[in-house]
């Protein structure tokens, strides 16, 4: 008896209610996607614990500075930027399930090493930078695989819904994860938090075992570097794909870095403290949850391009409005609305990257998305230098207003966007 290769090739079991085709939870009727969603959620838990744990380790345990903390994000972002093309190539050529298990196990090993070195007193800033760089490499290799596995496990019809549900899980962890990391540090110490992170990442690897991804039917053309160049040329030539990639890059370069400076807004602009910072960060997460739910409920609409473009534009306008607020609760409300539109934009952008890319170039296109994430730490460094001189509201407002203008110009200049 033969077994089906993937969920999208064999019709899932009949469903009713919210998991029926076209409904808000339709992608959950695919068995492999349920395992993938669980794996991604465990990964998100581990990632947030690592973010909080590394921050506390650098600033408290190692007496580092804000610059030291920024360098951790910078080396990780640089690794993603440099290695992402290789990740896209590998995702398209070799068994995605085996790669994902290996990368998740590697990330768990990094967490275990952090816990061991911290507990033994052998941890240093240089070692933190090294482990952060290796973690960035693993993120860059695993990122395109996780996104391609969404397509593998649900097929094109449920792709947008699956991306939205994956985003809801990620944004839920954005709200829960930092608090969990802080509680673990308080109860178990920094090394205990890293041990919990290792357990979460090991669970992510374990939940990847039942996956049955589609074997690569059209591997990328030629050797590595020739394949990467071919992928870049394809992205430039294909107008729809090029527009989607541009609208992925603009927020990463000009908008996302503002999150780094939420503590500055909380303390210097809004006259609050760490509680105010937590409230602002929670506002983004709460709004993102609502936005993901909206996408999941409307994922089967025919054209996604216009909604993606305008959601990105309104998201930029909301962040600009945030820079004018001088009231903490008003700022929270504005960021919650911004989170709604950001979640809608991000889910549709990620879906379109897969839906519009030719199968043989899908891995390359998705690697470009990972690369756009990698530019944010570099942009944050430049923005930070400007904030020190002119203040957070002026600098962030100018950068994000520029992003809004570029997004609007892209929408106006791309007549085909309405047909995407």
CATH number of the structural domain spanning residue 278: 1.20.1250.20
Tokens of 16: 């009713």
Instruction: Find the DSSP H helices in 121-158.
Output: 125-154
Report the 10 Å Cβ neighbour count for 210: 14
Cα Rg of the chain, angstroms: 21
Same domain, 126 and 274: no
Cβ-contact 88, 360 below 8 angstroms: no
For residue 271, being part of any structural domain is answered with: yes
User: In angstroms, what CA-CA distances link 9 with 152, 155, 156, 214, 354?
Assistant: 9, 8, 11, 9, 17
Query: How far is CA 151 from each of CA 28, 233, 243, 322, 331, rounded to the nearest angstrom?
Result: 13, 23, 21, 36, 37
Domain-located, residue 214: no
**Are 148 and 270 in the same domain?**
no
- Establish if 216 belongs to a structural domain: no
* CA atoms of 384 and 259, how far apart (whole Å): 11
Domain of residue 121 covers 25-207
Torsion of CA 349, 353, 354, 356, to 10 degrees: 110
Task: Kindly list the distances between the CA atom of residue 300 and the CA atoms of 23, 146, 164, 208, 416, in Å, as whole numbers in the listed order.
Answer: 8, 22, 11, 27, 20
Same domain membership, residue 232 and residue 203: no
Q: Are residues 67 and 198 in the same domain?
A: yes
Torsion of CA 141, 145, 146, 152, to 10 degrees: 180
Closest among 112, 98, 109, 99 to 141, alpha carbons compared: 99
Residue 215 lies in a domain: no
Please answer whether residues 400 and 319 qualify as being in contact, where contact means their C-beta atoms are separated by less than 8 angstroms: yes
Q: Which residues of 215-246 are buried (b: 16+ CB within 10 A; e: fewer)?
A: ebeeebeeeeeebbebbeebbeebebbbbbbe
Q: Is residue 321 part of a domain?
A: yes
Answer whether 262's CB lies under 8 Å from 332's CB: no
18 within domain boundaries: no
8-state DSSP, 113: H
CA distances from 244 to 98, 176, 396 (A): 29, 30, 24
| Cβ proximity of 12 and 144 under 8 Å | no
- In a domain, residue 269? The reply is yes
In whole angstroms, what is the distance from residue 408 CA to residue 55 CA? 36
Structure tokens at 416: 């085909």
Which residues 6+ apart lie within 8 Å of 36 measured at CB? Answer: 146, 149, 150, 153, 207, 208, 211
Residues 254 and 145 in one domain: no
Ordered per-residue pLDDT tens for the chain, 420 residues:
333 444 444 445 555 555 555 555 677 777 778 888 888 888 878 877 777 777 777 766 777 665 676 677 778 778 777 777 777 777 777 778 888 888 888 888 988 888 888 888 888 888 888 888 888 888 888 877 887 787 777 777 777 777 777 777 776 776 666 666 767 777 788 888 888 888 888 888 888 888 776 665 555 555 666 666 666 776 677 777 778 888 888 898 899 888 777 777 887 888 877 667 767 877 777 787 777 667 666 655 556 778 888 889 999 999 999 999 999 899 999 998 998 898 888 878 877 777 777 666 766 677 777 777 777 777 877 887 788 788 889 999 999 999 999 998 888 877 656 656
Domain count for the chain, please give it. Answer: 2
pLDDT at 1: 36
Domain end residue (candidates: 150, 180, 207): 207
Residue 397 included in any domain: yes
Task: Based on the fold, state whether residues 182 and 111 are members of the same structural domain.
Answer: yes
- The answer to whether 335 touches 343, Cβ cutoff 8 Å, is no
112 lies in the same domain as 237: no
């Amino acid at each position: 008896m033969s077994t089906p290769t993937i969920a999208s090739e064999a019709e899932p079991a009949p469903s009713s209610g919210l998991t029926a085709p076209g409904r808000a939870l339709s992608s959950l009727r695919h068995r492999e996607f349920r395992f993938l969603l669980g794996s991604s959620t465990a990964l998100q838990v581990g990632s947030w614990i690592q973010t909080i744990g590394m921050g506390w380790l650098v600033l408290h345990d190692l007496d580092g500075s804000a610059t030291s903390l920024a360098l951790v994000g910078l080396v990780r972002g640089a690794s993603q930027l440099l290695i992402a093309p290789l990740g896209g190539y590998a995702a398209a050529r070799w068994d995605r399930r085996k790669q994902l298990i290996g990368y998740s196990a590697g990330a768990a090993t990094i967490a275990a090493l952090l816990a061991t070195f911290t507990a033994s007193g052998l941890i240093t800033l240089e070692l933190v930078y090294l482990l952060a760089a290796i973690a960035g490499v693993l993120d860059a290799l695993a990122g395109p695989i996780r996104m391609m596995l969404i397509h593998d496990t649900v097929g094109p019809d449920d792709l947008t819904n699956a991306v939205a549900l994956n985003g809801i899980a990620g944004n839920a962890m954005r709200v829960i994860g930092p608090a969990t990391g802080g509680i673990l540090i308080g109860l178990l110490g920094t090394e205990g938090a890293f041990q919990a992170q290792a357990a979460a990442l090991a669970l992510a690897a374990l939940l990847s075992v039942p996956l049955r991804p589609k074997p690569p039917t059209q591997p990328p053309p030629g050797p590595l570097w020739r394949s990467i160049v071919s992928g870049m040329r394809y992205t430039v030539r294909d107008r729809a794909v090029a527009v989607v990639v541009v609208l992925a890059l603009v927020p990463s370069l000009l908008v996302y870095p503002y999150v780094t400076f939420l503590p500055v807004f909380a303390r210097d602009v809004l006259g609050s403290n760490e509680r105010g910072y937590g409230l602002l960060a929670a506002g983004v997460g709460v709004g993102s949850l609502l936005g993901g739910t909206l996408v999941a409920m409307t994922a089967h609409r025919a054209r996604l391009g216009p909604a993606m473009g305008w959601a990105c534009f309104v998201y930029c306008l909301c962040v600009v409005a945030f820079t004018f607020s001088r009231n903490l609760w008003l700022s929270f409300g504005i960021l919650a609305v911004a989170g709604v539109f950001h979640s809608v934009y991000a889910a549709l952008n990620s879906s379109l990257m897969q839906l519009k890319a030719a199968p043989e170039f899908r891995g390359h296109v998705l690697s470009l998305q990972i690369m756009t994430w990698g530019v944010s730490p570099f942009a944050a460094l430049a923005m930070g230098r400007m904030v020190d001189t002119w203040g957070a509201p002026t600098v962030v407002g100018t950068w994000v207003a520029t992003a809004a203008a570029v997004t609007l110009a892209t929408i106006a200049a791309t007549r085909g966007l309405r047909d995407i």
